[in-house]
Structure 1
Amino acid sequence: MNAPEKWSDLTTRVASALVMVLVALIAILAGGHVFHVLVAVICGLMIWELVNIITPPERRNLSRVLGGLTGTAVFAAVYLPVGFALPLLLAPALIGFGQLEKNRTIYMAFTVMILMSGFGMMQVRDDMGVGWMLWLVVVVVVTDVFGYFAGRAFGGPKFWPSVSPKKTWSGTAAGWVGAALVGLLFSINTGVGLQLIGISIAISMASQMGDIAESGMKRKMGVKDSSNLIPGHGGLMDRFDGMLGASVFLLIMGQFIGFPPGVG
């Protein structure tokens, strides 16, 4: 790949990214209903994309139903006691499993991850505040940005060429370095200790796992992008796959070790 081809999509990607960052920042700062609505809409649209990918064209009206059901479940769950929220969160996965004719395992696995991710992000914002929600987002974004530029600048061995031909080990490692720097910055400014560096790297790895899982699913289904909703980025699953892995990992990890470290 020559130099112009490496960076051919950069302008479009940057413009779309700036819009997404602005919308996300406004919602995170606002919190409450505003943030809950945004997360619910994103989760619903990701399910819409997922069902469109794994079902034949004649059954794709199901994507709107399941997408709407998912968004509603995520939004309602955050206002309910946990005992009632959990079955509500799993309901769209089981309902879709019963309605689909094939690719049911793919649907169930990704739907559970999307539902738990949305719930996890709302819990982080509501319970831990703006700062820790920003930390989570910044780690994922920096992982992606460092990986994008390092991968294209340095190239080198591919991470998993049969599934994601553009991902390189240089980009993967650069994502960890970026996450470590974010962890160092937040540890200095929050007083939680340097172990936040390691946690940030783990979050970075989890976000990369989410990215890899989505790439593998798309490769299996023979599609390049989850949709064309975001110019230069593809669909919402293409853009938020890393956040899926990161937020689910944080939700699970926090139950075992306490988070933030030294505070929770």
Structure 2
Amino acid sequence: MTSGKWDDLAPRLMSAVAMVGVGALGVWLGGLWFHGLIAIVVGLMVWELVTMLDTDRSKSPIVLAVIAAVVSMVSIELPASFALPLLLAPSMIGLGRMEQGGVTYAVFTAFILLAGYGLMALRDDFGLTWMVWLLLVVVVTDIAGYFAGRLIGGPKLWPRVSPKKTWSGTVAGWIGSAVVAMLFAGATRAGIGLIGVSIAVSMASQIGDIAESAIKRRAGVKDSSHLIPGHGGLLDRFDGMLGAALFIVIAGQLIGFPPGTQ
């Protein structure tokens, strides 16, 4: 009989294959196709966030989701100086519609919009190679953490908020991201500095994961939604990508990106 700790593996794998297929196509096509995909994902994540936080779910989730998706699509076509206030507009608009959880909504929605903008800018400005690098760092962090946590176990990272996450899985994610960095450092002009950046991106993705877990804990729900079998919702699946993309937006201004190529 299959051990209980592996019961979710099959649906996770099937859903992952579907998501990878859709995501890979969008990343490969780039341009408006990728922008549209990101806009849809951003809108759905905002919808999930509102439904977790707000008890009045009659109008706000759909309205705020549509606003977020439209803002994502429009902002990437504007100069950055004009895009920034537009990206924060859904947070401000939502404050007046939320019955509860308004501050959490405003902050996390800003993260979602900025991360989505960062992903689109990364694909537009630096091309397919560096988009694939970011995706692989986040995916390998998640996969290494999943298997190491179940095979090795050990002390929990933050049991009160995320009882399944272990230090062994966390460190395995860092090691996996370093391996990805070494592969890309050898194939590009980035150099060994990419290893440190990749580990930091791995950490940021884990922080994004934990932050979303904290919101679910506060809301008293197990998953952000039930859109993806075996994974819950889009926030459950892409919380790490939010943290990683937001980190790249900030760190790219400090170190130059890609590292070693400036």
TM over 0.5: yes
Q: Determine the C-alpha separation between the residues in 2 that align with 1:4 and 1:192.
A: 43
CA gap 1:8/1:128 in 2 versus in 1, 3 angstroms: same
The alignment partner of 1:99 has SS state of coil
Q: Which amino acid aligns with 2:18?
A: V
Where does the alignment leave 5 or more consecutive residues of structure 2 unmatched? none
Hey, what does 1:159 align to over in structure 2? 157
The 2-side partners of 1:59 and 1:250 are apart by 33
What is the SS of the residue equivalent to 2:163? Answer: strand
Q: Which residue of 2 aligns with 1:47?
A: 46
C-alpha distance after superposition, 1:59-91 (max 9, x if no partner): 342100000000000110001111221111110
**Most deviating of 190-199 and 231-240:** 190-199
Shift of 1:3: 6.3
- What RMSD over aligned residues (CA atoms) do the two structures have, in Å? 1.0
Matched ranges for 1:1-264 at <5 A: 4-56=3-55, 58-264=56-262
SS across alignment from 1:100: coil
| Kept in 2: contact 1:78–1:119 (CA 8 A) | yes
Contact 2:189/2:261 (<8 A) preserved: no
Quote the Cα distance in structure 1 between the aligned partners of 2:2 and 2:142.
20
Instruction: Give a deviation string over 1:202-244, Cα, whole Å, max 9, x none.
Output: 0000000000000011001100000000000000000000000
Give ranges in structure 1 of 5+ residues lacking alignment.
none
TM-score by length of 2: 0.98
Aligned amino acid, residue 23 of structure 2: A
Answer whether contact 1:226 1:236 (CA < 8 A) is retained.
yes
Partner Cα separation in structure 1 for residue 254 and residue 152 of structure 2: 38
Structure 1 distance, partners of 2:57, 2:236, is 22
Q: TM-score, normalised by structure 1?
A: 0.97
Which residue type is aligned with residue 87 of structure 2? L
Q: Is the 8 A contact 1:52 1:60 kept in 2?
A: no
